[in-house]
Structure 1
């Protein structure tokens, strides 16, 4: 059976955390907020950028939506700084050779379309769902279940590929398999250290 892949973007296909951190830092400087790079990085890896902004907006009496708008504008200007993860282009080309269908579900905004276009890989994806698509956020399986139902995907053969515990939890909640670049020790998840290891999982 040919598998189906649904991909996360940040930290999975896109090596975007430096650009994300730079965008947050610029925003915090604009509002004179303290910025601890390591603490912020750890927080967004465990939770999300949105959760971070809500936390700090509450703490400093600011509007989290306004903070997020400023941050999104700053990040958009950094699109050209976002490279693909090591092995991403090769693994996507391999999926094309194998006839594997690819989708995206990301907490990234619709800015994701332009980034993937600029990197020359947007054509690999049947459909891309972002935080602007209107689904409940991870670990809700709502977006994954939408794709499964819309395209008649076989859950037994569908994999959500990510880099955070949140991605593993989302896959489990949707009743599909998980492949993850960071998380190990979860029964329903396959841990990999590099994207090209995906080939070894599916090649006889």
Structure 2
């Protein structure tokens, strides 16, 4: 039996957390008197990342991005109750577990991810959870994937990064692993899905 590995993104993939993320950003912006446009902010973070947004705003307004992120992280933790599962998330994790697929997380979320996954009863599905506080360069750098491949003896051809953004596909490409994503992409490593349940019908 071949060894298959799933490395999961969280926000927008397993977790429907964008409302909580946006609420945290809005509260942070209000604390520093920064104008907030929900539509513009959502589009920006979907295209790039929350970190890029905070760095851009910090540079424009002479504020420290790390300080903004600390305030945002505290606000986000207070909004954990707003984080819910994406449709089919629990079912597809259970299916993968039953198939003997080794599952991991690599997310740009902070260590608050551990609390959320525990609260939702999902943490036991994952062998290791890597966050933005694990010390790896951010996506699309392949550092985190290389670490997991080496540590767990994963085959790049049988290891899949599952995400919802172009950044996630680029991360898979740079890491030499496969991609499962909600987006279409010309990347040969990528298989597109519309729903998480579609994963169970892919060929591995």
After superposition, give the CA deviation of every residue in 1:40-71 in whole Å (9 maximum; x if it has no partner): 11111111101100000110111111111100
- The equivalent of 2:38 in structure 1 is 37
Query: In 2, are the aligned partners of 1:57 and 1:63 still within 8 Å (CA)?
Result: yes
What is the CA-CA distance between 1:164 and the residue it aligns to?
0.5
- The equivalent of 2:117 in structure 1 is 116
What is the CA-CA distance between 1:181 and the residue it aligns to?
1.3
Using structure 2 for the length normalisation, give the TM-score.
0.97
Q: Distance in 2 between matches of 1:29 and 1:8?
A: 29
Larger mean CA deviation between 100-109 and 38-47 belongs to 38-47
Query: In 2, are the aligned partners of 1:9 and 1:104 still within 8 Å (CA)?
Result: yes
Computed over aligned residues only, the root mean square deviation of the Cα atoms, in angstroms, reads: 1.1
After superposition, give the CA deviation of every residue in 1:13-53 in whole Å (9 maximum; x if it has no partner): 01001100010001101111111111111111111101100
Q: Distance in 2 between matches of 1:32 and 1:49?
A: 18
Q: What pairs with 1:116-195 in structure 2 (closer than 5 Å)?
A: 116-195=117-196
What is the CA-CA distance between 1:2 and the residue it aligns to?
4.5
Q: Distance in 1 between matches of 2:9 and 2:184?
A: 14
5+ residue gaps in structure 2?
none
Structure 1 stretches of 4+ with a deviation exceeding 4 A read none
Aligned length: 203
Larger mean CA deviation between 70-79 and 186-195 belongs to 186-195
Q: SS state of the match for residue 32, structure 1? A: coil
Using structure 1 for the length normalisation, give the TM-score.
0.97
What is the CA-CA distance between 1:90 and the residue it aligns to?
0.3
Query: In 2, are the aligned partners of 1:164 and 1:183 still within 8 Å (CA)?
Result: no
Q: SS state of the match for residue 57, structure 2? A: helix
Q: Distance in 2 between matches of 1:67 and 1:57?
A: 8
Q: SS state of the match for residue 171, structure 1? A: helix
- The equivalent of 1:12 in structure 2 is 13
5+ residue gaps in structure 1?
none
Q: SS state of the match for residue 33, structure 1? A: coil
